[in-house]
Amino acid sequence: MESFIVRIYRRPEPEGPGPVGTVEVAATGQRVAFHNPEELLAALENPASRRRGRARQPRAKR
């Protein structure tokens, strides 16, 4: 089972498109941006197939 970190930066407004944020695969640090509920679901179902934005390196542990 994969583990994910979901960051939501903006919640949906009454007439807005939905949540905006990123999904990060905990094991690899790969991040995928989402801009609506459908993209969030797609990122959680198969994060490797969606490569939006640039690839980021995992954060260094303190």
pLDDT along the chain (62 residues), means of 10: 89 76 92 90 77 52 60
Phi, psi of 8 (to 5 degrees): -110, 120
Q: What are phi and psi of 60, to 5 degrees?
A: -70, 140
**pLDDT at position 59, please?**
58
H-helix segments, the chain: 37-45
pLDDT of 54: 46
What pLDDT does 46 receive?
Answer: 80
pLDDT at 15: 72
